[in-house]
Amino acid sequence: MKYAFSTLGVPGMPVPDVARLAAGCGYQGVELRAHPEEPVHPGLVSHERRAVVEEFAREGVEILTVAGYARVAEAGDDEPVYEELHRLLYLAADLGASYVRVFPGGGDQDPAEADATAARRLGAAAEIAADLGVRILVETHDSHRTGADVARIVGAVGHKHVGALWDVMHPWSAGERPTATHAVLAPYLGYVQVKDVASTDDPTPLALGAGVLPLAECLALVGDEGWVSWEYEKRWHPGAAELPPLLAAGREHLSTLT
């Protein structure tokens, strides 16, 4: 198993510091939050992208994912979503990232309509993703919280460059057991994103192992191949403990579960 963490836990941290932090705490990769308020985002020009690659290469850390905010099931015109997907895919390709993370974002639409919208958009982007050597992963999130929800979308697309990202909190909080989530996502799974919280009513991030999420059960299902990434949502919970002092212990905790 290889280990990564998301820069959502260290909002605004400069790229050299992220790379050193990952290497120093035993993580082989990072998920880069691709938002304009962060150091890495689709607006970077060529020499800025090369500099990011060089910083991570210097520390021997892989850029696993460009964590974007495209909402593929969102109501409205397709064109803005296509444009955002393309920008994320080209950024990922330039950085050498394996994946682009997207959200469903279907809102309160009829589920069948949201599924069809997402599948259409992802299908259109899949060939570009394939040409660039990048895989688009739909996260279990918002309107499609469960594995069954996301599997409907990616199954309809039917392309190996469109898959699923299993954020363990959302299916669990929706009442879907890990065995059920894994069963439907396994044919499409990119990797697993872990976190820990005190309860469904309190999503404040905690150190891994300090909360109630069934991390051991989830990771036992996926085995010891591939990636697991810690998404610590410090950006949305500024009162939470700082992530850097927790990273080394979190890495050790994950190694006991995989």
Domain containing 217 equals: 2-257
44 burial level (CB within 10 Å; 0-12, 13-18, 19+): middle
Q: What is the pTM of this model?
A: 0.98
Q: In the chain, which stretches have pLDDT less than 50?
A: none
Q: What pLDDT is stored for residue 249 in this prediction?
A: 98
Q: What pLDDT is stored for residue 216 in this prediction?
A: 97
Rg (CA), the chain: 17
Please, are residues 88 and 42 in contact by the beta-carbon 8 Å criterion?
A: yes
Q: Which helix (H) or strand (E) holds 103?
A: strand 99-103
Interval 204-248: pLDDT, tens:
999 999 999 999 999 999 988 899 999 999 999 999 999 999 999
Nearby residues of 227 by Cβ (< 8 Å), 6 or more positions away: 1, 2, 3, 4, 29, 64, 190, 191, 192
- 10 Å Cβ neighbour count for 150? 31
DSSP state at residue 208? T
Q: What pLDDT is stored for residue 242 in this prediction?
A: 98
Interval 74-85: pLDDT, tens:
999 999 999 999
Our count of domains for the chain comes to: 1
**Residues paired with residue 79 on neighbouring β-strands, in sequence order:** none
Q: What pLDDT is stored for residue 225 in this prediction?
A: 87
Q: What pLDDT is stored for residue 98 in this prediction?
A: 98
Dihedral sign, CA of 127, 53, 225, 103? Answer: negative
pLDDT, averaged across the chain: 97
Q: Which of 116, 128, 24 is nearest to 82 (CA)?
A: 128
Q: How far apart are CA 160 and CA 129, in angstroms?
A: 10
Q: What pLDDT is stored for residue 195 in this prediction?
A: 98
Please, are residues 230 and 246 in contact by the beta-carbon 8 Å criterion?
A: no
Q: How far apart are CA 165 and CA 17, in angstroms?
A: 26
Q: What pLDDT is stored for residue 102 in this prediction?
A: 98
Degrees, nearest 5: CA angle 119-108-230 = 70
CATH number of 37's domain = 3.20.20.150
Q: How far apart are CA 25 and CA 256, in angstroms?
A: 16
Amino acid at 174: A
Helix, strand counts (H, E) of the chain: 9, 8
3-class DSSP state of 137: strand
3-class DSSP state of 84: helix
